């Protein structure tokens, strides 16, 4: 099997690596964190100018029709640079719902704003009782005339504080944990009855708790079948998990490089600590963990194209398991090999570890996905 990038993919990699190397060093990132919502509109515009915000969308919809490998390339680069901008929330998640389930009218109304960078989105799914179960939805969408009235609360909505539009999961029928009766709705963030409470997360990003109180939307706000939205939700969230796996690989790659550079220059007892064999062994173990994660990230990217939904979901869950294990090991080793300085806000290594920790718990932690793989009977 050929794992080499095509010429076009190499050009994409060089393009985004060059952009982020020039515009996203650690000191500049600190400045971006102080901007409204914790990210840079100027960088977002540059991503749009280079076509990165339109990457996964079809040419008919104004995008470039790129596939999963291209998204993997972009997310790895964003991981290496510790990018703060809401690419996952806007392009991968919200854009994914429009791409896979949106009507022609919905795509025409919303995709141009995503692609040109003028609008950002957020996916409001997590509830206080739901843990990682996508079907556990208490937020309701009750019929009213030709439309719906949405009531409920969503928590830790990435980019929820600044998004122009929210993609919301809500129950149209049945009990809280029924797998049927779940819809996906497009809700303007400034709609009457929407309340947002924003806050920074531990990894430097921003999220919000969002309350919906009697929010009225039309029938055209529903993406796909409002009575059977779970398959669409599972597919899009699986794509987000794949993107997070790729981002984690970029984070681990840079963590290893930063740590190796540090132990080569940090001196103790008159010599560089990197000359100690025990530390060389630890760095080697970090490399092995990174490559295990990289291979599973590639596997997950290929798994997105599997026709069998169960096989696809199990494969992506297995990748998330390996990513979680590798992220914990590489992150902890990086901090330990840096010593006390690794715990400071001034050292970039701690920021990599924080982001890796958040990724491990996003859309299912290692234990959750281990159970999913086990219940499916494994990969073979």
DSSP H or E segment with residue 267: strand 267-268
For residues 68 and 164, state if they share a domain. no
Q: Are the CB atoms for 360 and 331 separated by under 8 Å?
A: no
State yes or no: pLDDT of 345 exceeds 90: no
Which pLDDT does position 307 carry in this prediction? 86
- Across the range 28-56, mean pLDDT stands at 96
For residues 342 and 292, state if they share a domain. yes
Q: Which residue has the higher pLDDT, 293 or 346?
A: 293
State yes or no: pLDDT of 1 exceeds 70: no
Q: 376: phi > 0 → left, psi -120 to 50 → alpha, else beta; which?
A: alpha
Position 256 confidence tier, pLDDT thresholds 50, 70, 90: very high
Tell me, yes or no, whether 279 lies in a domain: yes
For residues 197 and 326, state if they share a domain. no
Residues in the chain: 380
Which pLDDT does position 2 carry in this prediction? 57
Tell me, yes or no, whether 1 lies in a domain: no
State yes or no: pLDDT of 87 exceeds 90: yes
CA 254 to chain centre: 18
State yes or no: pLDDT of 251 exceeds 80: yes
**Residue pLDDT, tens place only, 131-180:** 999 999 999 999 999 999 999 999 999 999 999 999 999 999 999 999 99
Tell me, yes or no, whether 309 lies in a domain: yes
For residues 272 and 311, state if they share a domain. yes
Say which DSSP state 6 is in: P
- How many CB atoms are closer than 10 A to CB 255? 28
State yes or no: pLDDT of 226 exceeds 80: yes
For residues 244 and 273, state if they share a domain. yes
- Across the range 2-15, mean pLDDT stands at 89
State yes or no: pLDDT of 213 exceeds 90: yes
Which pLDDT does position 340 carry in this prediction? 85
For residues 351 and 306, state if they share a domain. yes
- Across the range 196-217, mean pLDDT stands at 97
For residues 97 and 169, state if they share a domain. no
Position 380 confidence tier, pLDDT thresholds 50, 70, 90: low
Which pLDDT does position 271 carry in this prediction? 85
CATH number at 21 reads: 1.10.540.10
For residues 368 and 238, state if they share a domain. yes
Average of per-residue pLDDT values in the chain: 95
State yes or no: pLDDT of 379 exceeds 80: no
When computed from its CA atoms, the radius of gyration of the chain, rounded to whole angstroms, is 21
Tell me, yes or no, whether 2 lies in a domain: no
Which pLDDT does position 341 carry in this prediction? 86
Which pLDDT does position 272 carry in this prediction? 83
Which of these three, 208, 227, 246, is where a domain ends?
227
**Residue pLDDT, tens place only, 174-200:** 999 999 999 999 999 999 999 999 999
Please give the model's pTM, rounded to 2 decimal places: 0.96
For residues 237 and 198, state if they share a domain. no
Which of these three, 119, 142, 177, is where a domain ends?
119
Which of these three, 193, 227, 261, is where a domain ends?
227
Q: How far from 296 is each of 4, 274, 319, CA to CA, in Å?
A: 16, 29, 5
Tell me the C-alpha distance between 319 and 309, whole Å.
Answer: 15
Which residues pair with residue 91 across a beta bridge? none
For residues 282 and 340, state if they share a domain. yes
Position 7 confidence tier, pLDDT thresholds 50, 70, 90: very high
CATH number at 179 reads: 2.40.110.10
Tell me, yes or no, whether 380 lies in a domain: no
Say whether 28 sits in a helix, a strand or coil.
helix
Position 342 confidence tier, pLDDT thresholds 50, 70, 90: confident
Find the domain containing 321 and state its range.
231-375
Question: Count of domains in the chain?
Answer: 3
Tell me, yes or no, whether 358 lies in a domain: yes
Position 353 confidence tier, pLDDT thresholds 50, 70, 90: very high
Tell me the C-alpha distance between 319 and 297, whole Å.
Answer: 6
- Across the range 99-125, mean pLDDT stands at 98
């Amino acid at each position: 099997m050929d794992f080499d990038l095509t010429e076009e993919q190499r050009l994409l990699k060089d393009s985004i690596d060059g952009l982020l190397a020039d515009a996203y060093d650690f000191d500049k990132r600190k400045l971006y964190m102080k901007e409204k919502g914790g990210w840079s509109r100027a960088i977002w515009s540059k991503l749009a100018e280079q076509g990165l915000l339109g990457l996964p969308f079809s040419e008919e919809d104004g995008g470039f029709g790129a596939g999963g490998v291209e998204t993997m390339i972009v997310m790895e680069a964003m991981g290496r640079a510790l990018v703060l901008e809401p690419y996952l929330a806007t392009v991968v998640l919200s854009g994914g719902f429009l791409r896979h389930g949106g009507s022609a009218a919905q795509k025409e109304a919303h995709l141009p704003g995503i692609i040109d960078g003028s609008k950002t989105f957020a996916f409001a799914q997590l509830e206080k009782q739901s843990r990682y179960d996508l079907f556990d939805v208490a937020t309701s969408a009750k019929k009213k005339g030709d439309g719906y009235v949405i009531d409920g609360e969503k928590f830790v909505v990435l980019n929820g504080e600044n998004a122009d539009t929210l993609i919301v999961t809500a129950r149209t029928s049945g009990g809280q944990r029924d797998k049927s009766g779940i819809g996906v709705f497009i809700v303007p963030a400034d709609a009457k009855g929407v309340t947002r409470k924003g806050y920074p997360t531990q990894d430097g990003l921003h999220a919000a708790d969002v309350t919906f109180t009697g929010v009225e939307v039309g029938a055209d706000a529903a993406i796909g079948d409002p009575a059977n939205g779970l398959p669409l939700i599972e597919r899009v969230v699986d794509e987000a998990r794949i993107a997070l796996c790729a981002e984690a690989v970029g984070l681990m790659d840079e963590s290893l490089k930063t740590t190796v550079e540090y132990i080569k220059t940090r001196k103790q007892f008159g010599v560089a600590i990197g000359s100690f064999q025990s530390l060389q062994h630890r760095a080697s173990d970090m490399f092995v963990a990174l490559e295990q994660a990289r291979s599973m990230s590639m596997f997950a990217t290929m798994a997105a194209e599997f026709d069998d939904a169960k096989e696809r979901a199990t494969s992506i869950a297995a990748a998330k398991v390996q990513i979680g294990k590798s992220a914990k090991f590489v992150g902890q080793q990086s901090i330990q090999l840096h010593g006390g300085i690794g715990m400071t806000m001034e050292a970039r290594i701690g920021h990599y570890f924080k982001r890796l920790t958040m990724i491990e718990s996003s859309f299912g932690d290692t234990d959750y996905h281990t159970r999913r793989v086990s219940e499916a009977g494994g990969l073979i």
